[in-house]
Amino acid sequence: MTTNQLIQNIQKKKSFLCIGLDVDLDKIPPHLLQKEDPIFAFNKAIIDATHQLCVAYKPNTAFYEAYGLKGWKALEKTINYLNENYPEIFTIADAKRGDIGNTSSMYAKAFLEDLGFDSVTVAPYMGKDSVEPFLAFEDKHTILLALTSNEGAFDFQTKTVDGKELYKQVLETSKTWSNSQNLMYVVGATKAEYLADIRKIIPDSFLLVPGVGAQGGNLQEVCKYGMNSNVGLLINSSRGIIYASNKEDFANQARYKALELQQEMEAILHK
Amino acid sequence: MTTNQLIQNIQKKKSFLCIGLDVDLDKIPPHLLQKEDPIFAFNKAIIDATHQLCVAYKPNTAFYEAYGLKGWKALEKTINYLNENYPEIFTIADAKRGDIGNTSSMYAKAFLEDLGFDSVTVAPYMGKDSVEPFLAFEDKHTILLALTSNEGAFDFQTKTVDGKELYKQVLETSKTWSNSQNLMYVVGATKAEYLADIRKIIPDSFLLVPGVGAQGGNLQEVCKYGMNSNVGLLINSSRGIIYASNKEDFANQARYKALELQQEMEAILHK
C-alpha cells in the first residue's frame, strides 16, 4: 500500500485508528476456546465488527509465537483474511526485528513478501544495514522504534548522544538511509510532550503511536503535538478495544470502544 | 543449564565453539530437498557430525521464519532433537527480541520455556522492562546485544552517550537489572580491539562472539582480549562450517571445519 492510499483511507473513514490484535487465550471469551482455531476465530470476529472504524490492524508477533505452530498458523490466517476481505486496511506486523544485513533480508521477505504485511516494526540498535533490507520493498513500510511507550525508554533512548538524545539521533540518521521514504516511526503516546520536537526532525513521516488507553496515553495530547497536514498518525489501541468484554457480545463491545475512539478522532479531524 | 555446567563442558570438550544453524534451502545440498523436512534433515546431519566438537548451537530464527509454518516446525524439531539427544549442549535462540514488559514475557516464555532453549538473544533499545522478563527464568540466559559484528554497529552503538559509548552504557546499565547474573552479551569478532575495554566492565560474563570466518573476525585476537579465567567466550561460526560442502559429504566436511576451529581453541586453552 502506498502512503497516499493510507491517507485517502484515513480521510474516507475519518479515522486514524489502528487496532492491536494481541490475542491472549487467557483473556478471550471462554466460549471461543471450543473452536478449532480460537485465536483466528477471535481475530475474525473483532475484524468483522471493527473494520469500518479503523484504518490499520497490528498483530504483535509475540502473542502468536507464544502458541508455537498453532500461533504462527493463526497469524497467517489473520493476515490472509485481512488481505482477501479488507484490502484497504493497512497491516502492521509488530515484530520489532533487526539483524545483520543478510539476516534482516530473511525477516523482511518473511513479513513483507511471504506473509504479505504492508509494514513491519524494526529495532534500530544494529544500524543502517540492519534496516535497509526492509526499506528495499516498494510500497511497503518499515516502522522504526524511536521513542517507545514503556518506562525502559528512559534507559537509553532519551540519553544524550553526541549532544542530542539517542531517539533524535535515530530519527536523523535514519533519514540518510536508502529508501528512507518508506520509513515510519514508533513514538509512544505516553511521551506526547516529545512529539513537538520529533515533528521538527520528521515533519512528514507517519508515526505509529501505541500506549493510548491501557498504558495511559492521551489522544488529544498526541494529536496536539504530533499531527501534520496529512494527519501523519496511526493511534494504536489493543487491550482497551479487543478485551472490552469476554462474553458472547465481545465483538459488539469491541466495536463500541473502537467507535468511541473513531468519533473522538473525527471531531479532531473536523477542527 | 547453569553457567558452571557450561564451563565444565568447555573444559571437557576443549572447545568453546558455537555452531550457527542458519539454514538456507538455496545453499544446502540439493539431494536433501527430496526429504520430507529438508531443514531438519540438514540440521540433524550437521549436529550428529559436529556435536563432540562444539558446546553450543545457535539457530537464527530469521532463517526459520522465512519458511513460515514449515520453518517454525523445523525449529521445534531441531531444539527437541538437541534437548533429547545432546542435553549437555547449550542452546541459543538467536531471535534478537525485545518489547514492552508484558509482551517480552510472551517471547521469554516461548523461547525459554515452551521451546526449551537455554538462552535467547535480546535487543537493548527498549531498556530494563523489555529485558527483565527474560532474566526472570532460573538457569536460563539472556544474551544482550552490546557491540554487534556488522558495519551498522557504528551508527549508534559506538556513539558517545553521556560521556561513554552507547554499548558501554548498555553493559553498565544492564548490570543493575534484576537477575543480571543471567546475562551474557553479544560482541562481534570484527570488533576484537574493543574487548579489553569491555572486559573492564563485565570481567566475568560470557560473551557470544559471532563474526569469526565469513565476516572476517580473527579467533586469536578475540581470545587475546576477551578470554577470562573461565574462558568466558562462545565463538560462533555459521556459514564457514555448515556450508563447507553442498555435496553428499556435507556433514563430514562441516565436521572438518569444526575440528579445525576446535583444535585451534584447544591450543589456545593449553597455553
Of A60, A145, A169, the CB nearest to B159: A169
Mean pLDDT score, A183-210: 95
What pLDDT sits at residue B92?
A: 98
Instruction: Tell me the average pLDDT of chain A.
Output: 96
Query: Contact B153/A110, CB-based, under 8 Å?
Result: no
CA angle A200, A206, A210 (to 5 degrees): 100
Read off the CATH number of the domain in which A223 is found: 3.20.20.70
Answer yes or no: is pLDDT of B48 > 80. yes
Least confident of A76-85, B4-13, B187-196: B187-196
Give the separation between CA B255 and CA B244, rounded to whole angstroms.
Answer: 9
Which chain A residues are closer than 8 Å to B130 by Cβ? 150, 152
Number of domains in chain B: 1
Q: How far is B13 from chain A (nearest CA, A)?
A: 30
Instruction: For residues B167-171, give the mean pLDDT.
Output: 97
Residues B69, A69: C-beta atoms closer than 8 Å: yes
pLDDT score, position A106: 96
- Chain B hits for A169, CB-CB cut-off 8 Å, are 156, 159
Among the partner residues A96, A155, A160, nearest to B128 by beta-carbon distance: A155
Please, which residues bridge with residue B119 across strands?
A: B92, B141
With CA atoms as reference, the chain B residue closest to A99 would be B96
Please indicate whether, in this complex, the C-beta atoms of B131 and A152 are within 8 angstroms of each other.
yes
B161 falls in which pLDDT band (50, 70, 90)?
confident
CA-CA distance, A116 to A102, in Å (whole number)? 20
Residue A161 Cα, gap to closest chain B Cα (Å): 4
Chain mean position to CA A240: 15
Residues 6+ apart with CB under 8 A from B30: B246
Distance of residue B148 Cα from the nearest chain A Cα, in angstroms: 7
* Residues of B in Cβ contact (< 8 Å) with A127: 150-157
User: What's the pLDDT tens digit per position in A147-165?
Assistant: 999 999 999 999 998 889 9
Out of A70, A77, A96, A128, pick the active-site residue.
Answer: A96
Q: Closest CB to B129: pick one of A106, A152, A161.
A: A152
Yes or no, beta carbons of B161 and A157 under 8 Å apart:
no
User: B56-81 burial, b if ≥16 CB within 10 A, otherwise e?
Assistant: bbbbbbbbbbbbbeebbbbbbbbbee
Q: What is the mean pLDDT of residues A102-122?
A: 97
What pLDDT is stored for residue B214 in this prediction? 67
Residue with cell 553479544: B186
pLDDT at B193: 86
Question: Could A156 and B110 be called an inter-chain contact, meaning their C-beta atoms sit closer than 8 Å?
Answer: no
> d(Cα A98, Cα B208) in Å, to the nearest integer?
17
| B103 vs A152: CA distance, rounded Å | 13
* Residue A54, domain extent: 3-270
A214 has pLDDT over 70: no
Average pLDDT of the residues in A219-248: 96
Do residues B188 and B150 make contact, with C-beta atoms less than 8 angstroms apart? Answer: yes
Whether B217 and B211 have beta carbons less than 8 Å apart is answered as: yes
Q: For residue B94, what pLDDT band results from cuts at 50, 70 and 90?
A: very high
In tens, the pLDDT along A34-52 reads: 999 999 999 999 999 999 9
Confidence of residue A91 (pLDDT cuts 50, 70, 90): very high
Look at residue B190 in the predicted model and tell me its pLDDT: 85
Q: Which residues contact B64 (CB under 8 A, 6 or more apart)?
A: B23, B39, B71, B72, B74, B75
B212 contacts on A by Cβ (under 8 Å): none
> Rounded to a whole number, what is the distance in Å from the CA of B267 to chain A's nearest CA?
31
Measured distance CA(B188)–CA(B208) in Å, rounded: 8
- Taking residues B205-232, report their average pLDDT: 91
- Is A123 within 8 Å of B123 when comparing Cβ atoms? yes
**Which of B127, B129, B160 is closest, CB to CB, to A156?**
B127
